[in-house]
A and B are shown apart, each in its own frame.
Chain A
Amino acid sequence: MTAVDTPTTSNVGTTKLRKEDAHLVTGRTQWTDNIQLTGMLHVAVVRSPMAHARVTKVDVSAALEQPGVVAAFSGADLADQWAGGLPCAWPVTEDMQSPTHLPIATDEVRHVGDAVAVVVADSRYGAADATEFIDVEYEPLTAVVDMEAALADGSPLTDTQLDTNRSFTWQKIDGDVDAAFGSAAHVVERRFINQRLIPTAIEPRAVVCAPPREHREYTMWSATQVPHILRLMLALTCGVPEHELRVIAPDVGGGFGSKLNVYAEEAICLVLAKRLGKPIKWTESRSEGYQATIHGRDQIQDVALAFNEDHTLRGMKVELHADMGAYLQLVTPGVPLLGAFMFNAIYKMDALSFTCHGVLTNKTPTDAYRGAGRPEATYAIERLMDEAANELGVEPFELRERNWIKHEEFPYTTVAGIEYDSGNYEAATAKAKELFDYDGLRAEQQRRREQGDKVQLGIGISTFTEMCGLAPSRVLGSLSYGAGGWEHASVRMLPSGKVEVITGTSPHGQGHVTSWSQIAADALGIPFEDIEVRHGDTAVAHKGMDTYGSRSLVVGGYAVQVACDKVVAKAKRVAAHLLEAAEDDLEFDAGTFQVKGSPDANTSMQDVALAIFAAHDYPEDMEPSLDSDATVDPENFSYPHGTHLCATEVDTETGAVTIRSYVAVDDVGTVINPQIVEGQVHGGLAQGIAQALYEEAVYDAEGQLKTGSLLDYFVPAAPDLPHFTTDRTETPATTNPLGVKGVGEAGTIASTPAVINAVVDALRPMGVNDVLMPASPQNVWNAIQAAAPADGGAA
């Protein structure tokens, strides 16, 4: 690597190799499970093997006799330790039904994996052994598994304390839907299933909690995306005052939403540290996590589009059944509601009705998984546009282009009532079609159809947008969310000219340290290498809203920019004072303040930082500090978009699907670090393709998780995924000074419908119009069989 000798203003927009990597490639990491503290005890959790049951007995006495065991508790033993149940921060309706969620169940368990007891021992192995000596008796209750049956009259209940399985029904109607559908020339209706997924961050969750030593404060290390939210919520849940709890997210090995939560084990470790006065550690095993860490997606989508005779889109109806699982976790009920703004996607229409039934079932709770509500919406609209094109007999791009918002129409207020600030769907599509050789592949497809090849070529389109940058606080308030969506940054100018940037975002693989350094380097005119970014520790970054929803750059990066701007403004006053010039006569460029027209009259940012540290000579009406804070609240969401194209080879004999090529052209606005942006797209694509082809969390009729480990839940490895061709168009956001839009979820949101559209497109001549996800060989073969003539013409 070459060292940068002089300040430069060209950090933003260039690939800087990541500062994060050195400790990760050499193994000098600090994952939560690496932490060993003197006297540390290990906790193991006894979990319900039943989906729904009354707990009639929990006897921990035999476990206490086991070697190394220090303590063991039932739910009842610790019931008085919780100030409240685990929190749901998003009460989407006033009458939302939410089962009481104690960290350890007392008298009723509601999903396989619900905690019923804990045992604490002096070793991992001892704690695991002792769980077998905890005697729990269950009286089985009927498990509620099917969402639609759960809402039927007389259905068994997921929670005997409630009188319904309907958590909520939430509706948003924009425009005159009846008019749109009543006068439509064509209506296209479908039911799509967006299956349940398991996020599977490769680092399992882990928690270490140390009781107070010289300070009064508890210290918790957790593999979390949200140290700040966790601190507040644990304070409210466990009766430890917020100022006496410090939460640290050390190295965190991916999250994808699964670590955007407040979990039972975090509350348990805090309460056990308090009760036993010893550091407590819990580390999840993978199969344990598959029961105890949130799942994602899981919607039944009934959707319809109304078109005019000329194929102009008039309106859309959406009715969702969204599986909440057994409890409402931190943002469980809000996830599907993000779709209320996203089903209309990039298209113009007069009316949109959105109804969502949040349904309780005896399964692991769902919550935000990469994309959270937007992948589900995008899947439905982009699948439906392909189905509509087929029914209307038009080219799928032609139908899309007829109805999408033209680039000259921005800013555009959508039918859902939000304003898309910028975008250029034409440009992204043109670039994607060229890279993909769209016309060439269509010609090949035609040839192979005519030849009746056993392996058919399919082409799938996804022209998507999403809403990122969660979120304008007032908008969140209008949606009943329990907090704001601002973000905080601090910039500390050190006397030696080095800089500390403190961010309220909490990265776990996204490269914030590098990207934030680039932003600050340009804003301050300080070398990239001279900037340190600190994060993920509530004692260091005292204020933050953490990392999820592709918000970090759009809101957190914006805060860094604003804090830097404040530093520059202060420094300019000091520089003017030192140079004996008027502030207005100074220009600031590449870290140098210079009197206009007098090249010799200048001073550097570093010199100003030293001067203000010495504080011997500075303007009388300011404090001797350049340090600045910024808390920014975005005025709008941001709206990345793009066009993704997928070519699949579908073996019509076996149902096997192979992706032959995949082109993604994304417009994420201004790019800070192209390499990091490309990496985010790649990873997102992998997870979206995984939903399309491989992954599904399956429960049986008794509520047993059949895909309980990586043996049955098929996370793709390198041979299962194709090379990705990625490119960008760049239409800057107009709602933040950086022009950025966010990229963390784009690939996931866009790719699932692109792949399924391609699979269906390959099979269309055989009469196939849909394939269940994942498009496994069995599911594809089933679709072919179902479409085949009754005489069984298929091979």
Chain B
Amino acid sequence: MTRVEMTVDGEPCEHEVEPRLLLVHYLRDVLEKTGTNIGCDTSNCGACTVHLDGRSVKSCTVLAVQADGSQVDTVEGLAGPSSDGDETDGWHPLQKAFHTEHGLQCGYCTPGMIMAAKDLLEENPDPDETEVREGLEGNLCRCTGYVNIVKAVRTAAAELREGASS
């Protein structure tokens, strides 16, 4: 067993883990942070995407011990506090836009898709349609056909740009 310490969604955590424990299993089974999903075993689907020290990674292809000392951010840490009872107030613009543009159906790929999109927008605040599609090439969705995901990401990008300039 190996000791790992990391900050997950802003909370420090510390455990003895088997070195072979995948980061995604550490999140899901040890920390019970089940917002991050597993959709494949070959690093193709991207459902398990989280941010590791600020960059999107597939947490099924990272060992928990590799993340020792790092900051991990998942979809569960995205939303801020909400004001008067409307929880959507606190949502990240990507969460709002996936909702308003119908960028999800079953929702299983959504946490990974949102985290991948967040990284994309941090690199490129104003992507065109092609850039969004290419930026999300590491994530598979089987429900939406991607059209509304692209729309959602661009809608969120506009809101984020507006927020940054005001």
Contact = CB atoms under 8 A, between A and B. Distances in A.
Q: Do A and B bind each other?
A: yes
Interface of A: 1, 17-18, 20-22, 24-29, 31, 33-34, 36, 124-125, 200-204, 251-254, 256, 285-287, 508-511, 675-676, 678-680, 682-687, 709-711, 715, 717-719, 721, 723-724, 747
Nearest to B76: A27
B36 A675 contact: no
Interface string B79-102: 100000011100100010011101
A34 B28 CA distance: 7
A286 B105 contact: no
A717 B140 contact: yes
Contacts of A204: 38-39
Interface string B12-46: 00000010110001001100111111111110110
Contact of B145 (A27, A33, A253, A683): A683
A202 B76 contact: no
B45 A202 contact: yes
B105 A25 contact: no
Contact of A21 (B38, B45, B99, B141): B99
Given A201-B142, A718-B137, 7 more contacts: A17-B102, A25-B95, A31-B34, A125-B21, A202-B142, A286-B40, A509-B105
18 contacts: A20-B107, A26-B95, A29-B107, A33-B28, A201-B106, A202-B141, A202-B143, A254-B143, A287-B42, A509-B106, A687-B142, A710-B42, A711-B42, A718-B134, A718-B146, A719-B137, A723-B147, A724-B145
B139 interface: yes
Contact of B44 (A25, A686, A711): A711
Contact of B88 (A22, A252, A719, A721): A22
Contact of B150 (A201, A684, A718): A718
Contacts of A33: 28, 34, 38
Given A715-B142, A717-B137, A723-B147, A21 B36 contact: no
B75 A26 contact: yes
B70 interface: no
B34 A709 contact: no
- Category for how many chain B residues contact A: 35 or more
B37 A203 contact: yes
A1 B133 CA distance: 28
Contacts of B25: 124
B142 A26 contact: no
Contacts of A31: 34, 37, 108
B29 to A, nearest CB: 7
A529 B104 CA distance: 20
Nearest to B94: A25
B129 A723 contact: yes
A90 to B, nearest CB: 26
Interface stretch (B51-59, B61-69, B109-117, B157-165): B109-117
Contact of A717 (B37, B79, B91, B139): B139
B155 interface: no
A286 B106 contact: no
Nearest to B29: A124
Contacts of B33: 27
A664 to B, nearest CB: 10
Nearest to B99: A21
A290 to B, nearest CB: 10
A36 B25 CA distance: 13
Given A27-B76, A27-B111, A202-B106, A17 B100 contact: yes
Nearest to A23: B107
B136 interface: yes
Instruction: Please list the 10 inter-chain residue pairs (A to B) with the smallest Cβ-Cβ separation, ordered nearest first.
Output: A27-B35, A253-B108, A24-B107, A509-B106, A682-B145, A686-B145, A509-B105, A710-B44, A34-B34, A718-B133
Contacts of A509: 105-107, 143
B64 to A, nearest CB: 12
B74 interface: yes
B106 A252 contact: yes
A760 B145 CA distance: 24
B144 interface: yes
Contact of A24 (B39, B74, B110, B148): B110
A41 to B, nearest CB: 14
A783 to B, nearest CB: 27
Interface centre among A24, A201, A204 (most CB of B within 10 A): A24
Contacts of A200: 142
